[in-house]
Amino acid sequence: MKKLLLMIARQATVMTVTALLLGVAAFAQDTQSQTDIEQPGRPAGLAVSSLDELRTFADVIRVIREHYVENVDDHSLLAAAINGMLASLDPHSDWIPPEQFQAVTDDAAGQYGGLGMDVQILDGFLMIVDVAPNTPAARAELRSQDKIIGIDGISMRGQDLREALNSLRGAPGSAVNLKIRQANNQQVRNVQLTRALINSPSVRGRLRVDHYAHLHIEHFQQGTEQQLTAAFRAVRQEADNDLHGIVLDLRSNPGGIVESAVATVDLFIDDGVIVSARGRDERTDFNFTATRGMLSELPMVVLIDAGSASAAEIVAGALQDHGRAVIMGQTSFGKGSVQTILPLRNGSGLRLTTAQYFTPTGRSIQATGIAPDVVIARVDILEDPRFAREVDLQRRLENPNQQGNDNTVNIQQQLLMLSQQDYTLAQAVNFLRGLQILQSRDNDT
């Protein structure tokens, strides 16, 4: 009798899980009709090869529930199954749980509940890269190079960056406890911070060596092109409307919203294709063309590196194909696919790869990246101290044209200082200076 009851219980478990999975299939069919992404030539709904495969899946869940060393609830098992299914497709498709879906929307809008610092994983630790002013992190006197070794009592050793970001972010007004190893003295301190609404601008503009605009786009979000235009105007005003060139810095830019990248390119070219995309479903195809070209006159350099990906590569590829800019730096990441965020009814969502994009000349950069026109290795530059110059000698004669040479010496000093801070950026400015010098000489003749 006991054996019979066990068999009945097991069969009931299989039937229950199978019914649950069939409900998931029906839900997927209903969701698919709502989001209008059914495949051409196939009936709408989830394609299931056979009921036997669902039964096998139910058997696996039953065995795990009964025999795994620790208790695992059905929700966790099904979430893991969904994640595994999407992970088998490509590295960029995944499931976004309800508690994380809002954060994805906030990132696109440039606002989130958090602490106001950029972090990255370095040597297995969570390292603070930058701290924004007037944020909870700044008020707690956190510094670049500090290590976050614990969040709310959980060690960050070996943690995934996404998991760490989810732990740092949260509703404005909520508290979070950090264990910090300070960079300057390696002491460990515990800090309690209150999360706030953080506005995360994607563009920073600065005037370099008197006449060159340095526009750094950190990521592409809603309104990036407006921020870029505003930053350019501010730098131009600082230069008394006398700019000689633009350095568009896309280094370590992981991408973001494709439409914002397209609008950015549209600022720099007058017409022609910006980017196109083709997928299995023709409704995911698109073809964007330029219409404005508000900043299409000044000479331009675009900086990229291995961290420049996705939407950043769309910008670099379009400007390179149109001959609008010289691309300098290192070969980019090589992500040539387009992801679509699809909301589901329970508040979660799918980030699904739906197409591959192509540059204006029709080339795919998938797994190859954008190759720079001018390769610049990462180096540390120091002035050679071995040689003395005439200016260093005692009792030297003074230069009768010293006043006229002051500006040249000042520019050289600025470039040397910039080279020591950011060699690649200094080479971009040097390149633009060379173009400007050649142009002025041509005009003189």
State the catalytic residues.
310, 321, 335
How many Cα atoms are found within 13 Å in the side-chain-facing hemisphere of 361?
A: 11
CA angle, corner 82, sides to 76 and 87, nearest 5? 120
Q: What is the 3-state secondary structure (H, E, C) of 154-202?
A: EECCCCCHHHHHHHHCCCCCCEEEEEEECCCCCCEEEEEEECEEEECCC
Kindly give, in sequence order, each residue whose CB lies less than 8 Å from that of residue 92, ignoring residues fewer than 6 positions away.
335, 337, 339, 351, 353
User: What is the H or E stretch that residue 272 is in?
Assistant: none
Closest CA to 315 of 257, 368, 385: 257
Determine the Cα–Cα distance for residues 264 and 296; give it in Å rounded to an integer.
12
Closest CA to 220 of 250, 198, 175, 196: 250
φ/ψ of 207, rounded to 5, equals -85, 130
Return the C-alpha torsion angle 384, 389, 391, 395, nearest 10.
140
Neighbours of 374 (CB within 10 A): 13
φ/ψ of 233, rounded to 5, equals -65, -40
